[in-house]
Protein backbone atom coordinates (compact mmCIF):
# COMPACT_ATOMS: atom_id res chain seq x y z
CA UNK A 1 0.00 0.00 0.00
CA UNK A 2 2.82 2.35 0.77
CA UNK A 3 4.21 1.61 -2.66
CA UNK A 4 1.42 3.66 -4.21
CA UNK A 5 3.23 6.74 -5.34
CA UNK A 6 0.87 9.24 -3.74
CA UNK A 7 0.22 7.47 -0.47
CA UNK A 8 2.65 9.86 1.19
CA UNK A 9 0.10 12.56 0.38
CA UNK A 10 -2.63 10.78 2.28
CA UNK A 11 -1.05 9.88 5.61
CA UNK A 12 1.94 10.97 7.67
CA UNK A 13 4.76 9.05 6.05
CA UNK A 14 7.92 10.47 4.54
CA UNK A 15 8.13 11.51 0.90
CA UNK A 16 11.31 10.63 -1.03
CA UNK A 17 12.76 14.02 -0.18
CA UNK A 18 12.12 13.47 3.49
CA UNK A 19 9.11 15.78 3.70
CA UNK A 20 5.78 15.12 5.35
CA UNK A 21 3.12 16.21 2.89
CA UNK A 22 0.21 15.78 5.29
CA UNK A 23 1.85 18.22 7.65
CA UNK A 24 2.42 20.76 4.91
CA UNK A 25 -1.20 20.50 3.77
CA UNK A 26 -2.33 20.81 7.35
CA UNK A 27 -0.39 24.07 7.66
CA UNK A 28 -2.29 25.43 4.69
CA UNK A 29 -5.57 24.67 6.44
CA UNK A 30 -4.36 25.99 9.76
CA UNK A 31 -3.13 29.24 8.26
CA UNK A 32 -6.43 30.05 6.65
CA UNK A 33 -9.04 31.92 8.62
CA UNK A 34 -8.13 34.72 11.01
CA UNK A 35 -4.83 36.33 11.90
CA UNK A 36 -3.79 36.47 15.55
CA UNK A 37 -1.00 38.48 17.19
CA UNK A 38 0.50 37.97 20.65
CA UNK A 39 3.06 40.20 22.36
CA UNK A 40 4.88 40.01 25.65
CA UNK A 41 5.98 43.14 27.49
CA UNK A 42 7.69 43.98 30.75
CA UNK A 43 5.09 42.49 33.03
CA UNK A 44 2.12 41.53 30.86
CA UNK A 45 1.08 39.68 27.75
CA UNK A 46 -1.73 40.20 25.32
CA UNK A 47 -3.24 38.40 22.38
CA UNK A 48 -5.36 40.05 19.70
CA UNK A 49 -7.39 38.63 16.85
CA UNK A 50 -10.16 39.63 14.48
CA UNK A 51 -13.76 39.07 15.39
CA UNK A 52 -15.85 38.22 12.34
CA UNK A 53 -19.42 37.25 13.04
CA UNK A 54 -20.58 35.62 9.79
CA UNK A 55 -24.28 36.22 10.20
CA UNK A 56 -26.21 39.04 11.88
CA UNK A 57 -28.53 36.52 13.49
CA UNK A 58 -25.62 34.81 15.24
CA UNK A 59 -25.03 35.44 18.91
CA UNK A 60 -21.79 37.50 18.80
CA UNK A 61 -20.54 36.37 22.19
CA UNK A 62 -20.45 32.79 20.98
CA UNK A 63 -18.04 33.59 18.17
CA UNK A 64 -14.59 33.77 19.69
CA UNK A 65 -11.05 32.59 19.11
CA UNK A 66 -9.76 33.54 22.56
CA UNK A 67 -10.00 30.90 25.24
CA UNK A 68 -9.18 30.83 28.92
CA UNK A 69 -7.31 27.61 29.63
CA UNK A 70 -6.65 28.22 33.34
CA UNK A 71 -7.02 31.29 35.55
CA UNK A 72 -3.58 32.36 34.46
CA UNK A 73 -3.15 30.98 30.96
CA UNK A 74 -5.04 31.98 27.85
CA UNK A 75 -4.76 31.23 24.18
CA UNK A 76 -5.79 32.34 20.75
CA UNK A 77 -6.38 29.48 18.34
CA UNK A 78 -6.76 30.10 14.62
CA UNK A 79 -7.55 27.73 11.77
CA UNK A 80 -10.37 25.23 11.66
CA UNK A 81 -12.90 26.15 14.34
CA UNK A 82 -13.81 22.56 15.14
CA UNK A 83 -10.18 21.48 15.50
CA UNK A 84 -9.45 24.62 17.57
CA UNK A 85 -12.22 23.80 20.00
CA UNK A 86 -10.97 20.22 20.26
CA UNK A 87 -7.45 21.43 21.07
CA UNK A 88 -8.79 23.88 23.67
CA UNK A 89 -10.87 21.16 25.35
CA UNK A 90 -7.80 18.95 25.57
CA UNK A 91 -5.64 21.80 26.84
CA UNK A 92 -8.15 22.60 29.57
CA UNK A 93 -8.24 18.94 30.57
CA UNK A 94 -4.43 18.67 30.59
CA UNK A 95 -4.09 21.83 32.70
CA UNK A 96 -6.72 20.69 35.16
CA UNK A 97 -5.21 17.23 35.52
CA UNK A 98 -1.72 18.66 35.98
CA UNK A 99 -2.89 21.02 38.72
CA UNK A 100 -4.66 18.13 40.45
CA UNK A 101 -1.64 15.81 40.20
CA UNK A 102 1.00 18.39 41.13
CA UNK A 103 -0.83 20.71 43.48
CA UNK A 104 -0.12 23.98 41.68
CA UNK A 105 -1.23 25.68 38.45
CA UNK A 106 0.30 24.41 35.22
CA UNK A 107 2.82 26.96 33.89
CA UNK A 108 2.20 28.14 30.34
CA UNK A 109 5.53 26.77 29.11
CA UNK A 110 4.68 23.29 30.36
CA UNK A 111 1.17 23.39 28.90
CA UNK A 112 2.49 24.58 25.55
CA UNK A 113 5.05 21.78 25.52
CA UNK A 114 2.39 19.21 26.39
CA UNK A 115 0.06 20.40 23.61
CA UNK A 116 2.97 20.36 21.18
CA UNK A 117 3.84 16.79 22.15
CA UNK A 118 0.21 15.77 21.57
CA UNK A 119 0.29 17.46 18.17
CA UNK A 120 3.46 15.53 17.28
CA UNK A 121 1.69 12.21 17.82
CA UNK A 122 -0.70 13.02 15.01
CA UNK A 123 2.22 13.59 12.65
CA UNK A 124 3.72 10.21 13.36
CA UNK A 125 0.75 7.88 13.79
CA UNK A 126 -1.24 7.25 10.65
CA UNK A 127 -4.47 6.71 12.52
CA UNK A 128 -5.24 10.41 13.06
CA UNK A 129 -4.66 13.47 10.96
CA UNK A 130 -3.01 16.53 12.51
CA UNK A 131 -5.37 19.20 13.87
CA UNK A 132 -5.64 22.13 11.51
CA UNK A 133 -5.07 24.87 14.04
CA UNK A 134 -2.24 26.98 15.46
CA UNK A 135 -2.29 28.15 19.07
CA UNK A 136 -0.73 31.24 20.61
CA UNK A 137 -0.45 30.43 24.33
CA UNK A 138 0.06 33.37 26.70
CA UNK A 139 0.72 33.62 30.40
CA UNK A 140 2.74 35.39 33.09
CA UNK A 141 4.92 32.80 34.79
CA UNK A 142 5.72 33.05 38.54
CA UNK A 143 9.43 32.73 37.88
CA UNK A 144 10.02 33.68 34.28
CA UNK A 145 7.57 36.53 33.79
CA UNK A 146 5.49 37.13 30.67
CA UNK A 147 5.64 34.34 28.10
CA UNK A 148 4.24 33.74 24.63
CA UNK A 149 4.39 30.33 22.95
CA UNK A 150 3.31 29.36 19.48
CA UNK A 151 2.27 25.73 19.03
CA UNK A 152 1.63 24.53 15.50
CA UNK A 153 0.15 21.44 13.83
CA UNK A 154 3.53 19.79 13.46
CA UNK A 155 4.25 19.90 17.16
CA UNK A 156 6.80 22.69 16.92
CA UNK A 157 6.70 25.01 19.88
CA UNK A 158 8.89 28.01 20.53
CA UNK A 159 8.97 30.81 23.07
CA UNK A 160 8.52 34.21 21.44
CA UNK A 161 8.90 37.84 22.33
CA UNK A 162 6.03 38.37 19.91
CA UNK A 163 4.30 36.03 17.50
CA UNK A 164 1.61 35.92 14.86
CA UNK A 165 -0.43 33.21 13.19
CA UNK A 166 -2.84 33.01 10.27
CA UNK A 167 -2.86 34.28 6.70
CA UNK A 168 -0.99 37.51 7.51
CA UNK A 169 1.53 35.86 9.76
CA UNK A 170 4.60 36.85 7.77
CA UNK A 171 3.65 40.53 7.44
CA UNK A 172 2.77 40.71 11.11
CA UNK A 173 6.09 39.11 12.13
CA UNK A 174 7.96 41.63 9.96
CA UNK A 175 6.10 44.48 11.68
CA UNK A 176 6.88 43.04 15.11
CA UNK A 177 10.54 42.29 14.37
CA UNK A 178 11.20 45.97 13.84
CA UNK A 179 9.95 46.71 17.34
CA UNK A 180 11.36 43.73 19.19
CA UNK A 181 13.88 45.61 21.38
CA UNK A 182 11.34 48.25 22.47
CA UNK A 183 8.59 45.75 23.22
CA UNK A 184 10.51 44.19 26.09
CA UNK A 185 9.88 47.30 28.21
CA UNK A 186 6.29 47.96 27.23
CA UNK A 187 3.64 48.27 29.88
CA UNK A 188 0.24 46.65 29.39
CA UNK A 189 -1.32 49.54 27.48
CA UNK A 190 1.59 49.73 25.06
CA UNK A 191 1.55 45.97 24.53
CA UNK A 192 -2.15 45.97 23.68
CA UNK A 193 -1.93 49.01 21.46
CA UNK A 194 1.06 47.68 19.56
CA UNK A 195 -0.74 44.40 18.96
CA UNK A 196 -3.86 46.18 17.72
CA UNK A 197 -1.80 48.48 15.52
CA UNK A 198 0.07 45.49 14.09
CA UNK A 199 -3.18 43.73 13.22
CA UNK A 200 -4.58 46.89 11.64
CA UNK A 201 -1.40 47.40 9.68
CA UNK A 202 -1.37 43.94 8.11
CA UNK A 203 -5.08 43.80 7.44
CA UNK A 204 -5.03 47.29 6.01
CA UNK A 205 -7.98 48.53 7.99
CA UNK A 206 -9.00 50.42 11.06
CA UNK A 207 -11.17 48.67 13.58
CA UNK A 208 -14.23 49.28 15.65
CA UNK A 209 -14.50 47.81 19.10
CA UNK A 210 -16.75 45.03 17.82
CA UNK A 211 -14.35 43.85 15.16
CA UNK A 212 -11.45 42.64 17.28
CA UNK A 213 -10.98 40.58 20.40
CA UNK A 214 -8.25 41.25 22.97
CA UNK A 215 -7.16 38.97 25.77
CA UNK A 216 -4.57 39.93 28.36
CA UNK A 217 -2.86 38.93 31.60
CA UNK A 218 -1.19 41.61 33.71
CA UNK A 219 1.43 40.76 36.28
CA UNK A 220 2.25 37.54 38.09
CA UNK A 221 -0.99 37.73 40.05
CA UNK A 222 -3.01 38.59 36.98
CA UNK A 223 -5.78 36.50 35.47
CA UNK A 224 -6.56 35.95 31.83
CA UNK A 225 -9.43 38.21 30.86
CA UNK A 226 -10.97 39.23 27.57
CA UNK A 227 -11.49 42.97 27.19
CA UNK A 228 -14.98 44.36 26.88
CA UNK A 229 -16.03 46.45 23.93
CA UNK A 230 -15.63 49.66 25.97
CA UNK A 231 -12.12 48.77 27.01
CA UNK A 232 -11.19 48.02 23.40
CA UNK A 233 -12.75 51.31 22.27
CA UNK A 234 -10.66 53.25 24.76
CA UNK A 235 -7.49 51.62 23.41
CA UNK A 236 -8.56 52.36 19.84
CA UNK A 237 -9.20 55.99 20.77
CA UNK A 238 -5.79 56.24 22.38
CA UNK A 239 -4.19 54.85 19.23
CA UNK A 240 -6.09 57.33 17.08
CA UNK A 241 -5.06 60.21 19.37
CA UNK A 242 -1.40 59.15 19.18
CA UNK A 243 -1.63 58.96 15.43
CA UNK A 244 -3.09 62.45 15.23
CA UNK A 245 -0.55 63.93 17.65
CA UNK B 1 -2.44 3.10 19.26
CA UNK B 2 -2.82 -0.27 17.55
CA UNK B 3 -5.78 1.03 15.57
CA UNK B 4 -7.15 -1.90 13.61
CA UNK B 5 -7.35 0.20 10.47
CA UNK B 6 -3.55 0.55 10.60
CA UNK B 7 -2.37 -2.74 12.00
CA UNK B 8 0.11 -3.08 9.21
CA UNK B 9 3.51 -1.55 8.97
CA UNK B 10 3.86 1.56 6.84
CA UNK B 11 7.53 0.80 6.36
CA UNK B 12 7.62 -2.12 3.95
CA UNK B 13 10.23 -3.59 1.63
CA UNK B 14 10.44 -2.33 -1.92
CA UNK B 15 11.00 -4.72 -4.79
CA UNK B 16 14.75 -4.11 -4.59
CA UNK B 17 14.79 -4.94 -0.89
CA UNK B 18 15.04 -1.43 0.46
CA UNK B 19 13.08 0.10 3.31
CA UNK B 20 12.27 3.35 1.58
CA UNK B 21 10.60 5.10 4.54
CA UNK B 22 13.87 4.83 6.43
CA UNK B 23 15.83 6.27 3.52
CA UNK B 24 13.37 9.13 3.26
CA UNK B 25 13.66 9.71 7.00
CA UNK B 26 17.42 10.01 6.53
CA UNK B 27 16.74 12.67 3.91
CA UNK B 28 14.69 14.53 6.48
CA UNK B 29 17.73 14.38 8.77
CA UNK B 30 20.02 15.63 6.04
CA UNK B 31 17.76 18.65 5.63
CA UNK B 32 18.09 19.52 9.31
CA UNK B 33 20.50 21.95 10.93
CA UNK B 34 24.06 20.71 11.38
CA UNK B 35 25.12 18.95 14.56
CA UNK B 36 28.46 17.42 15.43
CA UNK B 37 30.26 15.62 18.18
CA UNK B 38 33.83 14.80 19.18
CA UNK B 39 34.95 12.12 21.63
CA UNK B 40 38.14 13.22 23.36
CA UNK B 41 40.43 11.28 25.64
CA UNK B 42 38.86 12.77 28.75
CA UNK B 43 35.39 13.86 27.71
CA UNK B 44 32.85 14.41 24.94
CA UNK B 45 31.55 17.53 23.24
CA UNK B 46 28.34 17.79 21.19
CA UNK B 47 27.30 20.97 19.44
CA UNK B 48 24.49 22.09 17.20
CA UNK B 49 23.42 25.00 15.06
CA UNK B 50 20.49 26.72 16.78
CA UNK B 51 19.90 29.41 14.19
CA UNK B 52 16.24 30.34 14.09
CA UNK B 53 14.42 32.14 11.36
CA UNK B 54 13.05 35.07 13.33
CA UNK B 55 14.48 37.56 15.81
CA UNK B 56 11.17 37.37 17.59
CA UNK B 57 11.97 33.93 18.98
CA UNK B 58 13.26 33.94 22.56
CA UNK B 59 16.24 31.86 21.51
CA UNK B 60 17.78 31.68 24.98
CA UNK B 61 14.95 29.36 26.00
CA UNK B 62 15.05 27.09 22.98
CA UNK B 63 16.96 23.92 23.74
CA UNK B 64 18.38 21.63 21.13
CA UNK B 65 20.87 19.99 23.47
CA UNK B 66 19.20 18.10 26.30
CA UNK B 67 20.39 16.24 29.38
CA UNK B 68 19.31 12.61 29.57
CA UNK B 69 21.17 11.50 32.73
CA UNK B 70 23.65 13.41 34.92
CA UNK B 71 26.42 11.95 32.78
CA UNK B 72 24.86 11.89 29.34
CA UNK B 73 23.40 14.40 26.90
CA UNK B 74 21.95 14.44 23.41
CA UNK B 75 21.54 16.71 20.42
CA UNK B 76 19.89 16.09 17.05
CA UNK B 77 19.42 16.96 13.43
CA UNK B 78 16.03 16.63 11.80
CA UNK B 79 12.44 17.05 12.94
CA UNK B 80 12.29 18.86 16.31
CA UNK B 81 9.01 17.46 17.63
CA UNK B 82 10.24 13.88 17.07
CA UNK B 83 13.36 14.70 19.11
CA UNK B 84 11.26 15.71 22.11
CA UNK B 85 9.48 12.35 22.08
CA UNK B 86 12.80 10.48 22.14
CA UNK B 87 14.25 12.67 24.90
CA UNK B 88 11.19 12.01 27.01
CA UNK B 89 11.40 8.26 26.46
CA UNK B 90 15.15 8.14 27.12
CA UNK B 91 14.76 10.08 30.35
CA UNK B 92 11.99 7.80 31.55
CA UNK B 93 13.93 4.66 30.77
CA UNK B 94 17.07 5.94 32.50
CA UNK B 95 15.02 6.82 35.57
CA UNK B 96 13.61 3.30 35.61
CA UNK B 97 17.17 1.97 35.42
CA UNK B 98 18.23 4.21 38.31
CA UNK B 99 15.29 3.02 40.39
CA UNK B 100 16.06 -0.62 39.70
CA UNK B 101 19.85 -0.66 39.99
CA UNK B 102 20.58 2.35 42.17
CA UNK B 103 23.09 3.85 39.74
CA UNK B 104 23.10 6.07 36.69
CA UNK B 105 22.51 4.21 33.43
CA UNK B 106 25.73 3.93 31.39
CA UNK B 107 25.58 5.56 27.99
CA UNK B 108 25.83 2.39 25.90
CA UNK B 109 22.75 0.91 27.50
CA UNK B 110 20.83 4.14 27.13
CA UNK B 111 21.76 4.23 23.47
CA UNK B 112 20.65 0.64 22.95
CA UNK B 113 17.27 1.34 24.51
CA UNK B 114 16.72 4.50 22.49
CA UNK B 115 17.82 2.82 19.29
CA UNK B 116 15.41 0.01 20.07
CA UNK B 117 12.56 2.51 20.30
CA UNK B 118 13.52 4.02 16.97
CA UNK B 119 13.66 0.59 15.36
CA UNK B 120 10.23 -0.22 16.76
CA UNK B 121 8.76 2.70 14.87
CA UNK B 122 10.07 1.27 11.62
CA UNK B 123 8.21 -1.98 12.14
CA UNK B 124 5.12 -1.27 14.26
CA UNK B 125 1.74 -0.75 12.62
CA UNK B 126 0.46 2.68 11.80
CA UNK B 127 3.48 4.83 12.56
CA UNK B 128 6.29 6.38 10.57
CA UNK B 129 9.97 6.32 11.55
CA UNK B 130 11.41 9.19 13.60
CA UNK B 131 12.81 11.93 11.41
CA UNK B 132 15.90 12.56 13.56
CA UNK B 133 19.42 11.32 14.01
CA UNK B 134 20.72 11.68 17.55
CA UNK B 135 24.22 12.39 18.81
CA UNK B 136 24.51 11.04 22.33
CA UNK B 137 27.59 11.80 24.44
CA UNK B 138 28.21 10.18 27.79
CA UNK B 139 30.35 7.80 29.83
CA UNK B 140 30.48 4.05 30.23
CA UNK B 141 30.23 2.41 33.64
CA UNK B 142 34.02 2.58 33.93
CA UNK B 143 34.13 6.26 33.04
CA UNK B 144 35.27 5.91 29.41
CA UNK B 145 33.81 8.73 27.33
CA UNK B 146 31.73 7.70 24.31
CA UNK B 147 29.98 9.40 21.43
CA UNK B 148 27.13 7.60 19.67
CA UNK B 149 25.05 8.38 16.62
CA UNK B 150 21.58 6.84 16.41
CA UNK B 151 19.78 6.85 13.07
CA UNK B 152 16.06 6.67 12.20
CA UNK B 153 16.52 2.99 11.34
CA UNK B 154 17.56 2.25 14.89
CA UNK B 155 21.15 1.53 13.88
CA UNK B 156 23.71 3.07 16.20
CA UNK B 157 27.42 3.70 15.80
CA UNK B 158 30.15 4.75 18.16
CA UNK B 159 32.27 7.57 16.75
CA UNK B 160 35.51 9.33 17.45
CA UNK B 161 34.03 12.37 15.76
CA UNK B 162 31.10 12.87 13.44
CA UNK B 163 28.62 15.35 11.99
CA UNK B 164 24.99 15.05 10.88
CA UNK B 165 22.48 17.28 9.14
CA UNK B 166 23.08 19.80 6.38
CA UNK B 167 26.66 20.06 5.23
CA UNK B 168 27.68 16.96 7.19
CA UNK B 169 30.06 15.76 4.47
CA UNK B 170 32.24 18.88 4.64
CA UNK B 171 32.04 18.92 8.41
CA UNK B 172 33.18 15.28 8.64
CA UNK B 173 36.10 15.92 6.29
CA UNK B 174 37.11 18.90 8.41
CA UNK B 175 36.92 16.77 11.56
CA UNK B 176 38.88 13.92 10.01
CA UNK B 177 41.79 16.22 9.29
CA UNK B 178 41.88 17.61 12.82
CA UNK B 179 41.06 14.62 14.98
CA UNK B 180 43.81 12.94 17.00
CA UNK B 181 43.35 9.92 19.26
CA UNK B 182 44.88 11.64 22.27
CA UNK B 183 42.88 14.85 21.84
CA UNK B 184 41.93 16.56 25.06
CA UNK B 185 38.49 17.95 25.83
CA UNK B 186 39.47 21.62 25.59
CA UNK B 187 40.97 21.03 22.13
CA UNK B 188 37.88 19.08 21.16
CA UNK B 189 35.60 21.96 22.15
CA UNK B 190 37.68 24.39 20.10
CA UNK B 191 37.69 22.04 17.11
CA UNK B 192 33.95 21.54 17.41
CA UNK B 193 33.34 25.29 17.30
CA UNK B 194 35.68 25.74 14.35
CA UNK B 195 33.95 22.95 12.45
CA UNK B 196 30.52 24.38 13.17
CA UNK B 197 31.64 27.79 11.97
CA UNK B 198 32.91 26.36 8.69
CA UNK B 199 29.49 25.57 7.32
CA UNK B 200 27.53 28.19 9.24
CA UNK B 201 25.21 30.42 7.22
CA UNK B 202 25.89 33.95 8.38
CA UNK B 203 27.65 34.89 11.57
CA UNK B 204 28.00 32.33 14.33
CA UNK B 205 27.79 33.62 17.89
CA UNK B 206 27.12 32.40 21.42
CA UNK B 207 23.35 32.82 20.97
CA UNK B 208 22.77 30.80 17.81
CA UNK B 209 24.61 27.61 18.73
CA UNK B 210 24.28 25.23 21.64
CA UNK B 211 27.11 23.13 23.12
CA UNK B 212 26.99 20.22 25.56
CA UNK B 213 30.05 18.84 27.32
CA UNK B 214 30.75 15.64 29.27
CA UNK B 215 33.59 16.44 31.65
CA UNK B 216 34.71 14.23 34.56
CA UNK B 217 31.68 12.05 34.00
CA UNK B 218 29.21 14.94 34.28
CA UNK B 219 27.15 16.35 31.44
CA UNK B 220 26.46 20.07 31.27
CA UNK B 221 25.24 22.56 28.70
CA UNK B 222 27.53 25.57 28.20
CA UNK B 223 26.05 28.96 28.96
CA UNK B 224 26.26 31.66 26.27
CA UNK B 225 28.97 33.34 28.38
CA UNK B 226 31.06 30.18 28.42
CA UNK B 227 30.61 29.74 24.66
CA UNK B 228 31.63 33.37 24.17
CA UNK B 229 34.87 32.71 26.11
CA UNK B 230 35.72 29.83 23.78
CA UNK B 231 34.87 31.91 20.71
CA UNK B 232 37.04 34.75 22.00
CA UNK B 233 39.96 32.37 22.49
CA UNK B 234 39.53 31.13 18.95
CA UNK B 235 39.87 34.64 17.54
Binary contact (B58, A159; C-beta < 8 A): yes
Average pLDDT over chain B, rounded to whole?
93
Binary contact (B10, A19; C-beta < 8 A): no
Summarised one tens digit per residue, pLDDT across range B86-121 is 999 999 999 999 999 999 999 999 999 999 999 999
Q: Are A215 and A226 in contact (CB under 8 A)?
A: yes
- Best of A12, A127, A139, A160 to substitute, by most chain B Cβ atoms within 10 angstroms, is A127
Q: Are B211 and B47 in contact (CB under 8 A)?
A: yes
Burial of residue A141 (number of CB atoms within 10 Å: 0-12, 13-18, 19+): middle
Q: Is A4's pLDDT higher than 80?
A: no
Other beta carbons less than 10 A from residue A241's beta carbon = 9
Q: Is A199's pLDDT higher than 50?
A: yes
Distance from CA of B197 to the nearest CA of A (A): 24
Collect all residues of chain A within an 8 Å Cβ-Cβ radius of residue B8: 1
Nearest chain B residue (CA) to A155? B81
pLDDT at B125: 85
Which one is predicted more confidently, B20 or A11?
B20
Distance from CA of A38 to the nearest CA of B (A): 11
Which one is predicted more confidently, B54 or B130?
B130
Query: Which secondary-structure segment (H or E) carries B162?
Result: strand B161-164
pLDDT at A242: 87
Give residue A33's pLDDT band: very low, low, confident or very high (50, 70, 90): confident
Which one is predicted more confidently, A40 or B52?
A40
What distance in Å separates the CA atoms of residue B125 and residue B222, rounded to the nearest whole number?
40
Nearest chain B residue (CA) to A163? B56
Which one is predicted more confidently, B193 or A33?
B193
Nearest chain B residue (CA) to A183? B56
Going from the C-alpha of B120 to that of each of A30, A214, B91, B128, B131, the distances in angstroms are: 31, 46, 18, 10, 14
Q: Are B109 and B52 in contact (CB under 8 A)?
A: no
Q: Is A3's pLDDT higher than 70?
A: no
pLDDT at B5: 65
Q: Which of A23, A167, A18 is nearest to A9 (CA)?
A: A23
**Mean pLDDT, rounded, for A105-112:** 96
User: Exposure string (b/e) for B97-109, b if CB count within 10 Å is 16 or more?
Assistant: beeeeeebbbbbe
pLDDT at A207: 85
**Mean pLDDT, rounded, for A162-183:** 95
Collect all residues of chain A within an 8 Å Cβ-Cβ radius of residue B79: 154
Give residue A114's pLDDT band: very low, low, confident or very high (50, 70, 90): very high
Binary contact (A124, B55; C-beta < 8 A): no
pLDDT at B121: 92
Q: Are B193 and B230 in contact (CB under 8 A)?
A: yes
Summarised one tens digit per residue, pLDDT across range B205-217 is 999 999 999 999 9
What distance in Å separates the CA atoms of residue A35 and residue A47, rounded to the nearest whole number?
11
Summarised one tens digit per residue, pLDDT across range B3-61 is 556 777 888 888 888 888 999 999 999 999 999 999 999 999 999 999 888 889 998 88
SS (H, E, C) A110-173: HHHHHHHHHHHHHHHECCCCCCCEEEEEEEEECCCEEEEEEECCCCCEEEECEEEECCCHHHHH
Q: Is A2's pLDDT higher than 50?
A: no
Binary contact (B128, A126; C-beta < 8 A): yes
Query: Which secondary-structure segment (H or E) carries A76?
Result: strand A73-79
CB of B117 within 8 Å of a chain A CB? The answer is no
Residues present in chain B in total = 235
- Looking at chain B, the whole-number percentage of residues with pLDDT higher than 70 is 98
Which one is predicted more confidently, A30 or B235?
A30
Distance from CA of B130 to the nearest CA of A (A): 8
Binary contact (A18, B130; C-beta < 8 A): no
Q: Is B136's pLDDT higher than 50?
A: yes
Collect all residues of chain A within an 8 Å Cβ-Cβ radius of residue B129: 14
- In total, the C-beta contacts within 8 angstroms joining chain A to chain B are 110
What distance in Å separates the CA atoms of residue A137 and residue A134, rounded to the nearest whole number?
10
**Mean pLDDT, rounded, for B67-91:** 96
Collect all residues of chain A within an 8 Å Cβ-Cβ radius of residue B55: 177, 180
Average pLDDT over chain A, rounded to whole?
92
**Mean pLDDT, rounded, for B114-140:** 94
Query: Which secondary-structure segment (H or E) carries A38?
Result: strand A36-40
Please report the DSSP string for B69-106 in residue order.
Answer: ETTEEEEEEE-HHHHHHHHHHHHHHHHHHHHHHSSPPP
Distance from CA of A54 to the nearest CA of B (A): 33
Given B52, B56, B126, which is nearest A127 (Cβ)?
Answer: B126
Give residue A1's pLDDT band: very low, low, confident or very high (50, 70, 90): very low
pLDDT at B6: 74
pTM of the predicted model as reported, rounded to 2 decimal places: 0.85
Amino acid sequence: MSRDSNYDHHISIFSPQGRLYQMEYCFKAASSGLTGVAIRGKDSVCVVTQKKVPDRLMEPSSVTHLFKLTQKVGCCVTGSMADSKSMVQRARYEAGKWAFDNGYPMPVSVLARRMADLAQVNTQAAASRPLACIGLFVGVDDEKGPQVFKVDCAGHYLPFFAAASGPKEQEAMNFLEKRVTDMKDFDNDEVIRTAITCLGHVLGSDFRGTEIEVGTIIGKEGRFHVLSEEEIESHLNAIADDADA
Amino acid sequence: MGDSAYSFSLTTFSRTGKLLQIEYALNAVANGRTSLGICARDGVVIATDKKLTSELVDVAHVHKVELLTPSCGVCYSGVGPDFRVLVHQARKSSQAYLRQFGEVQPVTQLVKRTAGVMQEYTQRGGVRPFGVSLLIGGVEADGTPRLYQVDPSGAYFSWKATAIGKNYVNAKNFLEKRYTDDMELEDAIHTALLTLREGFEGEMNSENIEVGVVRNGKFSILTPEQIQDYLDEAN
